[in-house]
Every structure is written in C-alpha cells, then in structure tokens.
Amino acid sequence: MTHVLYVHQNFPAQFGHIAAYLAREHGWECTFVSQRDPGTIQGIRLVKYTSAGGATEKTHYFSRSFENAVWHAAGVYEALKPLREELRPDLIVGHSGFGSTLFLPELFPEAPVINHFEYFYRGHGSDLDFRPDWPVPEEDVLRTKARNAMVLLDLQYCAAGYSPTHFQHELLPEAYRPKVRVIHDGVDTAFWRRREPNDQVVEALRLPPGGRVVTYVSRGLEAMRGFDIFMRMAKRVLERRPDTTFLVVGSDRVAYGGDLRHIRERSFREHVLSRDEYDLDRFRFLGNVRPEVLVHLLSLSDLHVYLTVPFVLSWSLLDAMACERVVLGSDTAPVREVIRDGENGLLRDFFDVDGLAEAALGVLDDPASFRRLGGAARRTIEERYGMGVVIPQMLDLYRSVPAGVR
C-alpha cells in the first residue's frame, strides 16, 4: 500500500479531494498534516501542527513572508517528529510558499518531496502593477524578490513539482521549469453540474419571476478580482435591463493585494459603493457560501462574470463552466488559457466597462442564442480539468519519482 503525506496549512485545500479519491478508489493510505484539529475524514488521517512564532512589526517588511514560512516548516517538523517511525510515508506532497515540507527529508529520507507551485511573484509586468489606477508602493516592488525565497528553496530541494496552469508554470524561473509539470488540481464534474432550480434557494434570494440573473464569485471583494469593474458594469446593465438580479458571493475582505492601504473605508466593497449610486435592491451580497449552495446559485445564472488581473486562476471560474454557465471573463492571460472567445465563453478587456456591459446585455437579451457556449464550457472542463483526466496525470507524477530522490 502506498502512503502519501500531504502538507498544507489548511485542510482540504488543493489536496483533500485527491487524497480522498486515492483512499477510496485505490486503497492508498493518506495522511494530511495541517492546522486543523486531528481526526479522520473520508479515510484521511489528520495530524495537527502549530506554529510557535512568526513575523512581527519588528521583522523587516521584505522578509516577513519568509519568516512566517520558516516557522510553519518548523511547526510541521516538530509535529511529525514523534510520529517518524509510525508514519513512514512513501511520498510527501506539499504546497510551496508555505514552506511546510522544507525540513521533512530529515525525518523521512526515503520519501521524495513533490511540491505544488502556485505562484512566483514578480514586481513588474504582473498582478502587482497591472492596474495603473492603483499605484504600487516601491517597497512592494522590492519585496517581491524576497517573497520568493521559500519557493526557490522548494524548487531546489524537491524531487519534482507541478503547477495548475501553463500561465503559473511560465512564471517560474526558466532553469527550474523542466522539474515542474502542468497538472491542474481537478474539478469534480459529478458535483459541479447544472442543477434544477431549488425552490428554497429561489425564495431565499427573492428573485422576481421572469428576470435575469448574473453571478459573480470571489474569495474577497477586491481590486485584483475586479470587483469595482464588475459593479460599474452592473450599473450600466441595470440602466437597460432593470429586471436583472446580481448574486455576489465573497467576503468583505481583501484576500490579495493592498487595497486597504489606499482607501479610508473598512472594506473595498464599502469603498466601491461609496463612489457611485447603485440600486442595491438588485444586488444580493451573500458572503461566503458552502459549495452545496454555490452550485445551486450558479445553476440559476444566465451569465457568470469572472474578472481577474494576471494572477492565480480561481476555482469558481471552472466550477461555473462545469455548471454549463455562459461566462464573461477578462481578457487576461490566465483566463485566456481556459476560455476561447466565442467558442466556450466570452472575453473582454479587463478595463473596458462599456464593452463588458454590452457583452453582458447581449447574453441577457437573448440567453438561448448563447446557450451553446455553456455546453462547450462544460466539455472544456470534462476534457481538460475533470478528475478522470487529472487523477491519472497526478498518479503518473507520483509514481515517476523514485524513493530517496531529494
């Protein structure tokens, strides 16, 4: 029996569904070390670690990410040290950047390390300076070099790695790219599929009969995910289609970027709403919702809007496509990798509010004419990102690394 040790601050993160699949379908033993309380979930043993320290205000701003990562790596090491003889994993899989796998070869020298490489930061021509309306402080540009320190250590010391998209892979230093494959985390297409309207959900949302529904999903309502652009576009749509309801999923926090340093309001959403007049009766700000709810929200949607600067691609885009939604996305590199304009979705310039609004109105005025895009979107997910495609690629990577490779 193969035993895989997964390492991530959070559970299930990028690994939980893969571990559950391997345990269920292949009988593998899977252990997951995270900051979650110990136990067993879907055949996965959970081991808890804690970080005994971290960066403070006295820590140099440039090195805080590395300081935190080292403390987490040390916490993982200390949590697993008493279990060295008991666990004996055949393979270690971790998320680079958090640094959690760095010291584990000292405990398990025969277990090769595979790291998930999500993002390599750059100060120019990247997410950081994509929006000229949000000037980048010099200190943030300088910090990007130091911010990659743990990723570089993981690239050097791991046996192999993978990145979810070609866009993310190409951000890595060229010398290390041959060591890293492109394998997506995978989409559970059995779960993420179009559902029949749920009466309870419809009633709770107070959706007027016969109206149109537009969805927008983001972990945080922030500039990097174009929340302000979305709201300006929505205002224009409502001027011509006041029967439209906008379902907005996401928390009032900034998950990425430095929005709060540029505004006086407590949240970016408050900042955006204070800059213009909106008919808020047409918006439902739902906060974060469980996947079991989100799949029904997406199924109600006539149009799903996904905007992002060049950054990590959100799962929500692929989930919406799996639900056969017509997606209007920003014409940025990570989105272009998935959506082909006019074939399986629509693309418009990130900053072109009028162009986004016109494209949205075209769909809302005649949804039936665009339904084929939703069907093509579903096929894209099934053919490139479904678990039946991803799991064999992941298993091939796991099996390709011989024991004892550092």
Task: Output phi, psi for 287, to 5 deg.
Answer: 65, -160
Sketch out the chain's domains with CATH numbers: 3-186+386-400 (3.40.50.2000), 199-384 (3.40.50.2000)
Pull the structure tokens for residue 25: 């379908």
CA distance 342 to 376: 10
pTM: 0.94
Q: What is the pLDDT of residue 405?
A: 57
Q: What is the pLDDT of residue 199?
A: 84
Mean per-residue pLDDT over the chain, rounded: 95
The angle that helices 387-400 and 367-384 make with each other, rounded to 10 degrees, is 20
Q: What is the pLDDT of residue 404?
A: 60
pLDDT over 90, % of the chain = 89
Given a cut of 60, is residue 246 above it in pLDDT? yes
| The dihedral sign for the CA sequence 381, 96, 25, 395 | positive
Strand partners, 3: 29
Helix (H) or strand (E) holding 369: helix 367-384
Per-residue pLDDT tens digits for 154-210: 999 999 999 999 999 999 999 999 999 999 999 999 999 999 988 888 889 999 889
Distances (CA, A) of 404 to 29, 114, 342: 19, 12, 49
Are the CB atoms for 222 and 268 separated by under 8 Å?
Answer: yes
Per-residue pLDDT tens digits for 38-81: 999 999 999 999 999 999 999 999 999 999 999 999 999 999 99
pLDDT band at 322 (very low <50, low <70, confident <90, very high): very high
- In this structure, the chain runs to a length of 406
Are the CB atoms for 123 and 129 separated by under 8 Å?
Answer: yes
Q: What is the DSSP letter of 171?
A: H
Pairing of strands 44-48, 91-95: unpaired
* Per-position b or e across 351-382, b if 16+ CB within 10 A of its CB: bebeebbebbbebbeeeeebeebbebbbebbb
Nearest CA among 40, 38, 98 for reference residue 67:
98
Are the CB atoms for 191 and 337 separated by under 8 Å?
Answer: no
44: three-class secondary structure by DSSP: strand
